[in-house]
Structure formats: structure tokens, C-alpha cells
Amino acid sequence: MTAESGAMTTPVVAVDGVSVRTRDRTILDKISLDFSARSLTAVVGPSGCGKTTFIRTLNRMAELTPGLRIQGRVLYLGQDVYDPTVNPVVVRRRMGMVFQRPTVFPASVFENAAFGLRLVRASEEEIDAAVTEALQRAGLWDEVHSHLDGPALALSGGQQQRLCIARALAVRPKVLLLDEPTSALDPAATQRVEATLQHLKEEIVVILVTHNVGQAARVSDRVAFLHSGHLVEVGATADMLERPREKLTEQFITGRFE
Amino acid sequence: MGAVTGAPPLAAEDDLRRDRSGHLRGRTVLDRCIGWLLPLLFLVAIAPILDLVYWVASRALPTFTLSIITTNPSGAAGGLLSPIVGSLEILLLATLVAIALGFFGGLATAEYLDEETAGAIRVTANVMVGIPSIILGLFGFIVFVKYFGWGASLAAAGVTLGIFMTPYVYRATDLAYLSVPPHIREAAVGSGATPLQYLFRVATPIAFPSVLTGIFLAMAIGVGETAPILLATTPVAIPPLSLFQPASALPLYIWSGFENGLILPVAIHRAFQAAFLLLVIVVGLNVLVRIIAARSRRRLEGLFQ
Amino acid sequence: MSQPPVAGPAGGRQPLPFLARLRAGIARWWPYVPALLPLALTLAIVDSLIGASRLQNFGAGFFGFIITDYGILIFVVGSFLTSVPALVIAMLVGLGIAIASTTYLPRFLSEWLDPFVDLLAGIPSIVYGLWGFLIVAPFFGHDIFPTVAPALAWIPGFHPSFNSPSLEGTGLALGIIILTLMILPITTLLMRDALRSVPRDLWESGLALGATRWEVARHVAIPYAKRGIWGAAFLGFGRAMGETVAVYFVIDQTARLPTNIYAPTSTMASLIVSSIAQNLAGTDLHFLAEMALVLLAITLVVNVAGRWMIRRTFTDVAGL
Ligand SMILES: Nc1ncnc2c1ncn2[C@@H]1O[C@H](COP(=O)(O)OP(=O)(O)OP(=O)(O)O)[C@@H](O)[C@H]1O
Ligand SMILES: [Mg+2]
């Protein structure tokens, strides 16, 4: 499977000439990139190249940072998420997000997973069903189903991170954005999160920011390489890691960087 | 690539403009309303300050003359010389006492005690800050006025107020030395500085501005306090000639005006003029604190480059 | 307890010379002397009050006696009647301000507005008293209470005893208002710090789940900052109980329980200053010392509880 065959189906997310600037510098420069259903794209690049900023522009989290100017279009199933008539709250529900460090709320495991559903006053049965399903999809159910009412902060770091994934999945987003989700985890926990992602990409669009080329190789179908705000190269994982077209890409994946 | 034009209509769950839950509108409106209403609560703080400053100034300034600060009070009239001088004398004595009692404790807690002991001892200082000032006043009366037999005097008032200010100086010193960055300490010790050299040549120059601002803040709090000195001295008309004579103070002057009813216009004006002078002293000390803090921040930034 | 940085008498078979041992002992223990001064002063205060009271004659059972039979009870009640409403208002307003400045306002605006709250803390108590007595009391007595009182009369305790409430304006209601202003800075500051300690990631993950700012504040930030908020409540309450001069000026100090919210009353602290104002004979001093002990006991308990809560918050944050 190649990147080109993915583009033939309707993209779930289409990034169209997105630039992000501060007053005195350009953080992202005219990025265009499509994400089609049931795919896992790894966004890689050296530290500070704009990976975090890039995924934060997709679900309108970037606009929470004062002083950032965002230009261009991000289309979710053909609708511009930056359209003034679109409420960012809705955008963020459709595109879940997981952060670098686990960010569980000071509440029980169950209430963490139920957070997004409580906001829209879902019924108890709905919440029960959705929480169970989300914990299963996140590969956490077997470990926590006996103590759902226990404090989430008592879980291990890896479990907390998968709970954060479950929490995002419970509102059934079509897109899941992850910002270096394993960088604070040990190898065993990392492996479990990666296994979870392998399952998820069969169902939804997964966009994974990572600075770890090995991780990209293990889990992604496609790799996008960012360098100082430019999209240098994007291609199927195997092609790109074995036969990079650009010199910068080759330098990065062979580790001759920094 | 790009938008899907002319595609079949979106399913409800995919349409960003349609809300499946039905609550979105209410939630968004609630958020907006709260976003407008909560900042209005700042008025609860701002309006009284403006009102208070306006009234104190408008009652104090029209009849303010230089003779008010150069003559002693006589009855309800006269000037404010002895309260001003008394306030400054009491404050000076109190500051010396507070530094003597508070500085070394803060230094020891920050520099010479282990984390756990220091944490527990910090709680005791913080709890002492919470002791009502009237209780300190009673303590000063029982111990200094009666037991030591100093009588109503400048000394009793100064020492009592100094004890009141002690935990503030203690906390400021503690925080100041605690905020010396650990890498600087390591560098100093690593390059062979003795503990005393470290203390005098490295830590103290860095911590000093913060200690100073802490002392000024304690003075700003102390100069306006009435209760600690109320029992320790009496509002007399002339400045004291020795430590063991009573000294008046600006808060005491207002206090005795209130006790005498504040009926005569001149008494009301003097009370507001005393309050105005107190505000000026307090604001002045606070401005001083800001200036020192800003300067030392600039100096410290240089240190880290 | 950690090892002292100086060489102790470790390992040596033959006893160290006396002077060296003394030096080592001093180097090890001197920091405790100044560091424990605040505690020692606190204990000295307690001791002096016990000495001046009749507690040593009658034992601890005396407390029950002075509170119920001896008439302190009405002042304890008076203190609670002023402090609790003031605390409730100051906590609600303070929480609102804290949320506004941490959640809704842009940085430059909150940096500009926050100092006003701090300024409220800098105004001396006696200046509040003077302003409250000469400016606010007549205004409330003439303009506010007569219009507001009939509308609120249905609430128990809000019915003025005469047809029009006191034209003076002084009394319980004004005491509560002035106290609220005086403790607003401490509650606001502590809650603002507590909310600031909520990690940015936690805020953002709430928003990323499609919550509004208010929902994140309500369901994420406040639960996270719970301890700090409780600490603010305890410390604010301690402040309110101990506040003396300003309350005395505006409460129309009268040694009886208020019949309604406009009525004069008395708190423990205001009673102590009013006795001072009259005269200080030997018998009075016993009574004042006993009253001060009750007040001190209450404020120490709430302060220890409050500081403990806040300390726990900080260690939690550091541990995260
Ligand atoms: N609010 C901001 N104001 C100014 N510059 C910013 C801001 N946010 C990010 N930047 C800059 O934008 C660049 C990209 O930041 P970003 O966090 O997206 O990088 P990253 O690729 O995620 O890095 P890392 O791998 O370290 O997480 C950085 O150079 C950063 O300094
Ligand atoms: Mg990043």
C-alpha cells in the first residue's frame, strides 16, 4: 500500500496550506497533507520543528496559545474547522487528543473515562456502555475493570496514559491525535500503548507525533517528516525509512541529527 | 486532495454545525455569560478601594496645612506631630526587634535545617502570623507593661509590635535564602568555599533584596496596626523623651478620636488626615518594595546569563 | 533527621576533648534556637494568657464554665455570626475572581487587575474602621437599608425590629460587609495560587475533550485545587475571627446577641478592645485573658488546619 492509494478515498482530515506564525517568526509554513480513514500517520522531525503545533492546529487547540496566527484551512470531512460558524467545542469532540504526559483528572477511573459523556448529559446506560467499550479499545479493561471506582492517580504511568486514550475514545471521535504519548513511559508500557494504537488504526484516523523513528517504523503506515516548519517529505513508512528521497530525511532517520 | 464538493449530505454525526447532544447551545451560552460576569467581581475589590481613597483624601486634603505636621495635638484640634513621630519611633524599634527575632530563624530554617524539620518549623511561623493582633496586644500588656513594669511606654509598644512583625520577617528571610538557586550553591561549594564564605559572599548578596522587601512589607503591615500597641502605650500629646515614656501613634490618634465621638468637624478632619498619612506611608513602603523587587530581578537575570 | 554537615563524634574510640565536642554540639544544634523562636513566642503568649486568667485556679473544666455560665458564649456566637457570613461571601467572590483571572481574562488584564485585590490587604484596619463608621455607615443607614430592608424582611433574621432599620447603619450587617472586604484578599490570593497550580496540560486535556472553559474550571480545576481552596477557607476564617478594630468601629459594640441583621452586637475581639477602651482594672484582665484564650484556641486550630491543607497541596503538586 502506498500513500497515493490512500489519497483516492475521501480524506477525513485535509490540511490545506496551513501556516502558523508568531509576531516575528514562522512556526509552520504552508503545510498540506491529507489523512484518510483507517490509517496511522506518524509525524516525525527534530525537536522544535513544529510537530506539536501542527497537530494542535487540527483540533483548534493552537488558538488557545496567545500570540499565534493560524492561516490556511483544515477540512474535517470537507468542512473547514476554522469556519466562524463552527464551534471549537464540537471540533475537539470529533478529534480526540492525548498529551505527552498522562493527564488524568483527580477522580475515579470510571469518571475519567466518562468525562466527555457527562458534559453532554448522556444517560447512565449510555455512559456505562461507552466507558466499557472505550476501556476495551484502549486495552485497559482487563487491568482496571475490578476497580473502576478507585482513584485514577493510583494507576501506573502506562495505565494512566491508556486511560487518557480511553477517555478520548469514549466520545467516539473519528480522529485521534497523540503528541509523543510514550515519551514519559518505560519500554513495557510503551509497547502496550503501541499495541493499542495498532488496533485503533483499523477503526479511525490516528495521527501520532513521535521523535522516535523506531516507533514510527513499528506502528505507522505512513510517515510525514517535518523540519523547521516545512513538510519535507511524506510517504509509506517502509519506502520512506528505507529509501528517503530527501537528504534531510535521510540524515534524520539515520540519526545524524543533533 | 482538498474539499469534497458536491458530495452527498453529511451524516448528522459528521456535521460540525449540527449538535447531536442538543445541549451545546446552552453550554456555550453559559460559558460566555460566566466569562462576562466573573470579571465583574473585580469591582467588589476595586470599588471599595476607590471609594475609600476618594473619601479619605477628600476629607483630609482641603484642610491640610503644613502646621498639622509640625505641631502637637491639643484637645481635638492642634496638629499630628506627636502621633507621626511616635509612629515612626515605635516602627523603628519594632523593626529592629523583628529583625533580631525573625531574621536568624528564617536563615537557619532555609540554610541549616533538613527539609522535613524546616517544613514543620515553617508551619509554626505561618501559624504565628495567624494569631489575632489583639491577642498580641494583651500579651504585651501582661508581660511588658505589667510584669516587666515598663508601664505604658514607647518600649512596650515597640517590642510588642516587633513580636507581631517577627513571623513576617522570618518568612521573608526563609523564602529569600531558599530561592538561591541550588546550582549556585553547588558551584560555590564545589569551588572550595567554606560555609561562612558561601553565606556571606554568595547567598546573602543574592537573598538580600528579598529580605529587604520582606522587612519593608512587615513595616507596612506593622505601621497600620492598632491592636498590638493599644494597651502598651497611650495617645499622649507630646513625643516621648525616653524609651519608657508613652508615645502616641497615628492609629492610636484615630482610635482616641473615635472613642471621643468624632463629633467636632476638626476632630473628623484630623482623624482623616491621620488616616491619609497612614495610607501614604503604607503605599510608600509598597512602592519601595516594588522598586527593589524589580531592580533585584534585573540583577538576578544578569546572574543567570 | 539528616546528618549535620559538621563532623560529629563518629567512630572515635577515645573521647573527644570537651571543647571540640561542645563546638560540634553548637554547630549541630544552634539553628534550632532561632528557628524555634516563633513557636516559643506562641507558647509564651499562651502561657502569659493562662497566667493572667483564672484557669490555673480552676483547671481545664473552667472553660466549660466560662463559656456557658459566665457569659462568653454570646461573644463566641457574635464572632461566628460576623465571620461565617463574611467568609461565605469572601469565598464565593474570591473564587469567582480567581477563576476569572486564571481562566477567562487575558494575561495582561489579569496582571493589571490582580494588584487591586492585593491592595485591599494593605489598607490598615483602623482606616477601614474610620471609613466604615463615617462614610459607609451613614450611606447604608440612610440610603441602602431603608430601601432594601422591606424587600428582604421575609427572610428570618432580616426583619428590622423597628419600622425602619437603624439610621446609623452600624451593626451586624455592616460588620459583615467590612469583614468581607478585609478577608477577600487572603481568600482570593490563596485560591488564585491553588488554581494556578493546576497543570496546563490538565486544563488543555479538559478542553480537548470538548469541554467549555467553565466546565474545565468547574469539573477539573476546582477538584484539583480542592485542598488549596479549603486552606483558603480556614485561613480566611481565622482572619475574620481575629479582626478587631475595624469591626469594633462599625458594629456598634453592645454586649448582647443581635435580634436581626441590622442590630448591634459584639464579637470576642471587639469585646476585648472595648473593655480596653473603658478601663483596665485587675478583674477585667482575668476576664479578657480568658476570652483571649478562647479566641486564640479557635484561631490556632483553624490556622494549623489551613496551613496543613495548603502544605499538602504544594507537596502534591511537586509530586506530580
Ligand atoms: N507560543 C509560542 N510562541 C512562540 N514560539 C512558539 C510558541 N509555541 C511554539 N513556538 C516555537 O515553535 C517551534 C515549534 O514548536 P513545537 O512545540 O511545535 O515543536 P515540537 O516539534 O513539538 O518540538 P518537541 O519535539 O520538542 O516537542 C519551536 O521552535 C517553538 O520555540
Ligand atoms: Mg512537542
pLDDT tens per residue, range B207-235: 998 899 999 999 999 999 999 999 888 88
Interatomic CA distance for residues C194 and C95, integer angstroms: 10
| pLDDT for the residue numbered C9 | 47
**Cβ contact, residue pair A105, C215, below 8 Å:** no
Q: Which residue has the cell 451593626?
A: C171
**Cβ contact, residue pair A168, C208, below 8 Å:** yes
Interatomic CA distance for residues A7 and A35, integer angstroms: 8
Does A57 sit in the ligand 1 pocket, CB within 6 Å? Answer: no
* pLDDT exceeds cutoff 70 at C319: no
Q: Map residue A19 onto helix, strand or coil.
A: strand
- Give residue C293's domain range: 74-318
Confidence of residue C25 (pLDDT cuts 50, 70, 90): confident
> Would A158 be classed as within a structural domain?
yes
Nearest-Cα residue of chain C relative to residue B173: C35
Query: What distance in Å separates residue A45's CA from the closest CA in chain C?
Result: 22
Q: Are A43 and A208 in contact (CB under 8 A)?
A: yes
Q: Specify the number of domains making up chain A.
A: 1
| pLDDT for the residue numbered C296 | 94
Interatomic CA distance for residues B220 and B281, integer angstroms: 7
> Would A1 be classed as within a structural domain?
no
Confidence of residue C68 (pLDDT cuts 50, 70, 90): low
Interatomic CA distance for residues A146 and C104, integer angstroms: 39
Domain with residue C180: its CATH number is: 1.10.3720.10
The domain ranges of chain B are 82-304
Query: Looking at the partner chain, which of A78, A85, A120 has a beta carbon nearest the beta carbon of B3?
Result: A78
Q: Which atom of ligand 1 is nearest to the CA of A68?
A: 1
| pLDDT for the residue numbered C165 | 55
Q: How far is CA B54 from CA A110, B61, C16, C190, C229, in A?
A: 55, 10, 71, 28, 33
Interatomic CA distance for residues A26 and A21, integer angstroms: 4
> Of B236, B277, B281, which is closest to residue B69 (Cα–Cα)?
B277
C-chain residues near B127 (CB < 8 A) = 42, 300, 303-304, 307
**What cell was used for A190?**
510503551
- Give residue A238's domain range: 37-49+88-225+232-254
- Average pLDDT, integer, range B144-170: 94
Instruction: List the single best residue of C205, C213, C216 to mutate versus A (max A Cβ within 10 A).
Output: C205
Burial group, residue B67, by CB count within 10 angstroms (0-12, 13-18, 19+): exposed
Average pLDDT, chain A: 88
B-chain residues near A34 (CB < 8 A) = 1
Interatomic CA distance for residues B80 and B68, integer angstroms: 6
- Confirm or reject CATH 1.10.3720.10 for domain B82-304, answering yes or no: yes
> Would C259 be classed as within a structural domain?
yes
Angle at CA C24, nearest 5°, toward C18 and C29?
120
- Average pLDDT, integer, range C131-139: 93
| pLDDT for the residue numbered B305 | 43
What confidence tens digit (pLDDT) does each residue in A194-227 have? 998 998 989 899 999 998 888 998 999 999 999 9
Expressed in percent and rounded to 5, the helix, strand and coil fractions of chain B are: 70, 0, 25
Ligand nearest to the CA of A29: 1
Interatomic CA distance for residues C189 and C170, integer angstroms: 29
Query: Looking at the partner chain, which of C35, C41, C244 has a beta carbon nearest the beta carbon of B134?
Result: C244
Segment holding B297, helix H or strand E: helix B265-304
Q: Candidates A21, A27, A213, A228: which one to mutate for ligand 1, based on the most atoms within 8 Å of Cβ?
A: A27
* pLDDT exceeds cutoff 80 at A146: yes
**Cβ contact, residue pair C123, B125, below 8 Å:** no
> Would A14 be classed as within a structural domain?
no
> Would A248 be classed as within a structural domain?
yes
> Would C57 be classed as within a structural domain?
no
- Average pLDDT, integer, range C91-103: 95
Confidence of residue B242 (pLDDT cuts 50, 70, 90): confident
Instruction: List the single best residue of B135, B177, B178 to mutate versus C (max C Cβ within 10 A).
Output: B135
> Would C160 be classed as within a structural domain?
yes
For residue A47, report the distance from its CA to the centre of ligand 1, in Å. 8
SS3 letters for B151-203? CCCHHHHHHHHHHHHHHHHHHHHHHHHHCCCHHHHHHHHHCCCCHHHHHHHHH
> Looking at per-residue confidence, does C15 or C33 come out higher?
C33
ipTM of the complex: 0.89
A-chain residues near B1 (CB < 8 A) = 7, 11, 14, 32, 34
> Would A103 be classed as within a structural domain?
yes
Surface of B (119-178) touching C: CB under 8 A? 119, 121, 123-139, 141-143, 147, 163, 166-167, 170
For residue A55, report the distance from its CA to the centre of ligand 1, in Å. 12
Interatomic CA distance for residues A248 and B303, integer angstroms: 38
> Would A23 be classed as within a structural domain?
no
| pLDDT for the residue numbered C283 | 58
**Cβ contact, residue pair A103, C202, below 8 Å:** yes
Query: Looking at the partner chain, which of A86, A121, A174 has a beta carbon nearest the beta carbon of B17?
Result: A86
User: Residue C193, Cα to own-chain centre: how many angstroms?
Assistant: 17
Interatomic CA distance for residues A217 and A212, integer angstroms: 9
Interatomic CA distance for residues B142 and B137, integer angstroms: 9
| pLDDT for the residue numbered B302 | 58
Q: Chains A and C: how many Cβ contacts under 8 Å?
A: 63
Angle at CA B255, nearest 5°, toward B249 and B257?
105
| pLDDT for the residue numbered A7 | 43
Provide the strand spans (E) within chain A. Answer: 11-21, 26-36, 39-44, 69-76, 79-80, 95-98, 175-179, 205-209, 222-227, 230-236
Q: Which residue has the cell 419600622?
A: C163
* pLDDT exceeds cutoff 50 at A28: yes
Surface of C (93-132) touching B: CB under 8 A? 93, 96-97, 99-100, 104-105, 109, 113, 116-117, 119-120, 122-131
Query: What distance in Å separates residue B36's CA from the closest CA in chain A?
Result: 18
Segment holding B74, helix H or strand E: strand B73-74
| pLDDT for the residue numbered C183 | 94
* pLDDT exceeds cutoff 70 at C63: no
Q: Is C257 left (phi over 0), alpha (psi -120 to 50) or beta?
A: beta
| pLDDT for the residue numbered C59 | 60
**Cβ contact, residue pair B16, A91, below 8 Å:** yes
> Of A136, A121, A126, A191, which is closest to residue A166 (Cα–Cα)?
A136
Average pLDDT, chain B: 88
Confidence of residue C61 (pLDDT cuts 50, 70, 90): low
> Would C4 be classed as within a structural domain?
no
For residue C36, report the distance from its CA to the centre of ligand 1, in Å. 48
What confidence tens digit (pLDDT) does each residue in B264-287 have? 888 899 999 999 999 999 999 988
Q: How far is CA C266 from CA B222, C76, C183, in A?
A: 25, 9, 19
Q: Is B288 near chain C, with CB under 8 Å?
A: no
Chain A residues bordering chain C (beta-carbon distance below 8 Å) = 59, 61, 64, 66, 89-90, 92-93, 96-97, 99-101, 103, 105-107, 115-116, 118-119, 164, 167-168, 171
Nearest-Cα residue of chain B relative to residue A10: B4
Running DSSP on this structure, what letter comes out for residue C143? I
Domain with residue A243: its CATH number is: 3.40.50.300
- Average pLDDT, integer, range C140-152: 83
Q: Which residues contact C249 (CB under 8 A, 6 or more apart)?
A: B258, C126, C128, C129, C130, C132, C133
Query: Looking at the partner chain, which of C31, C33, C48 has a beta carbon nearest the beta carbon of B139?
Result: C48
Q: Partners for B (CB, 8 Å, 3+ pairs)?
A: A, C
| pLDDT for the residue numbered A256 | 60
Q: Which residues contact B8 (CB under 8 A, 6 or more apart)?
A: none
Query: Looking at the partner chain, which of C106, C220, C224 has a beta carbon nearest the beta carbon of A66?
Result: C106
> Would A240 be classed as within a structural domain?
yes
For residue A46, report the distance from its CA to the centre of ligand 1, in Å. 11
Partners of A20 in beta bridges? A28, A70
* pLDDT exceeds cutoff 80 at C163: no
- Average pLDDT, integer, range B95-118: 92
Segment holding B73, helix H or strand E: strand B73-74
Q: How far is CA B134 from CA A17, C232, C273, C289, in A?
A: 69, 22, 8, 11
Does A211 sit in the ligand 1 pocket, CB within 6 Å? Answer: yes
> Would C48 be classed as within a structural domain?
no
Nearest-Cα residue of chain B relative to residue C240: B132
Does A24 sit in the ligand 1 pocket, CB within 6 Å? Answer: no
Dihedral sign for Cα atoms in the order A212, A214, A219, A223? positive
Q: Are A133 and A76 in contact (CB under 8 A)?
A: no
Angle at CA B245, nearest 5°, toward B242 and B251?
115
Query: What distance in Å separates residue C64's CA from the closest CA in chain B?
Result: 21
Question: DSSP letters along A188-255, please?
Answer: HHHHHHHHHHHHHTTTSEEEEE-S-HHHHHHH-SEEEEEETTEEEEEEEHHHHHHS-SSHHHHHHHTT
B-chain residues near C52 (CB < 8 A) = 138, 142
Q: Is C215 near chain A, with CB under 8 Å?
A: yes
Does A71 sit in the ligand 1 pocket, CB within 6 Å? Answer: no
> Would C243 be classed as within a structural domain?
yes
For residue C173, report the distance from its CA to the centre of ligand 1, in Å. 54
> Would A26 be classed as within a structural domain?
no
Does A52 sit in the ligand 1 pocket, CB within 6 Å? Answer: yes
Q: Is C165 near chain B, with CB under 8 Å?
A: no
Q: Specify the number of domains making up chain C.
A: 1
> Would C34 be classed as within a structural domain?
no
Q: Is C52 near chain B, with CB under 8 Å?
A: yes
Query: What distance in Å separates residue C242's CA from the closest CA in chain B?
Result: 4
Interatomic CA distance for residues A58 and A62, integer angstroms: 8
Q: Partners for C (CB, 8 Å, 3+ pairs)?
A: A, B
A-chain residues near B16 (CB < 8 A) = 76, 79, 81, 83, 86-87, 90-91, 94
